Structure 1
């Protein structure tokens, strides 16, 4: 006996903006009818632009809620196992890695971490966090600011880390020695200016920040702001015109065309 056929229905919210809403989308767009009329689904949606905007807003809200859910605080874990385990659990859930003091780097596997492992690490400070590419935002930063012995923090390519996030890092000023912000699209000069609190920093990576208008000049200012810190970023001399003396030497050494 043949297996029953499965049907895919498009279910979407209904907006009362006329008779041609999203409700009738699955009926109006018939594959055979589209071929006859030479119309595509995209063309159909374009004809009803207000519905496309509504779908876009719905998907955007859904994405924002997803990021907010990822950045919630795990209060029940903190109450049971303390701030070190709660902070580590947050990073591991995001897909990052953590290093407890005198331990190897830890990454979450399919099983996650057992309660027995949590108990063993309750009193062990987290000294390094690599959250590269994670969806950490201003709200989720609370989970990291509780790690008062944190020495190294990598936020490379984090799409939601912005200037407001950097304004909160002063809470780690006593311990933080290494910080990477490379590739964060929402960090500008204003956020980097907030790092003046981190006078214990010894290494700072601010390379590839698209929102920084003048990377070379910004790096010079950050180096003056943090005189004991090695700042990695753009070459301040990159793009400068070659001086007359250098040009004359190059011209003298180049072959004369026949």
Structure 2
């Protein structure tokens, strides 16, 4: 069996927000659009209407199966302000590095939570310093983090406005 590929034609046809929504929901995540209070998590209830109307503002990937392979779906997202990665077993350092390289996301992301993602280490967290506008970062239950004091120091130097909450053992 071959791994699923990113459908770039689909991204071009429906736009990055719709394509990313479809991928995220298929993986078990949920999304919230700009100007809306409720979350969308059912693929069959994706909003209809003009494709450029629904812009993803927040992503909650709790218990989802998102992984590095599909992150190309997120390449054109410009309005994402918050991402929660909780109990994402396939999230690892390379995923965080790939996310942090998405230029539009570098500018829009303000808040991030990474909780109980066992494959994340100091290296992956340090990649988050590319999110220049990141204002809040919550890290919890990450056994791969080995030097939390040094990690906290490096993040605060790179991102002086960052509010960093660590709940690491």
The correspondence of residues 21-170 of structure 1 with structure 2, limited to 5 A, is: 68-69=3-4, 72-109=5-42, 112-113=44-45, 117-168=47-98, 169-170=100-101
What is the TM-score of this pair, normalised by structure 2? 0.84
| CA RMSD of superposed structures (Å) | 2.3
**Ranges in structure 1 where 5+ consecutive residues have no aligned partner:** 1-61, 239-258
CA contact (8 A) 1:219 1:234 kept: no
What is the aligned residue count? 166
- TM-aligned CA deviation for residue 74 of structure 1: 4.2
Name the CA distance, whole Å, in 2 between partners of 1:79 and 1:108: 23
TM-score (normalised: structure 1): 0.58
Following superposition, the deviation at residue 121 of structure 1 comes to: 4.4
Question: Relative to total residues, which structure has the larger strand share, 1 or 2?
Answer: 2
Q: Measured at CA, do residues 82 and 118 of structure 1 come closer, stay the same or move farther in structure 2, by a change above 3 Å?
A: farther
Matched residues in 1 for 2:164 and 2:31: separation? 23
| Structure of higher RCO (CA pairs closer than 8 Å, 6+ residues apart) | 2
Q: Which runs of 4+ in 1 moved over 4 A?
A: none
User: Whose helix fraction is larger, Structure 1's or Structure 2's?
Assistant: 1
Find the partner of 1:196 among 129, 132, 135: 129
- Residues 8-28 of structure 1 deviation map (CA, whole Å, 9 limit, x = unaligned): xxxxxxxxxxxxxxxxxxxxx
Q: CA deviation at 1:76?
A: 4.9
Structure of higher CA gyration radius? 1
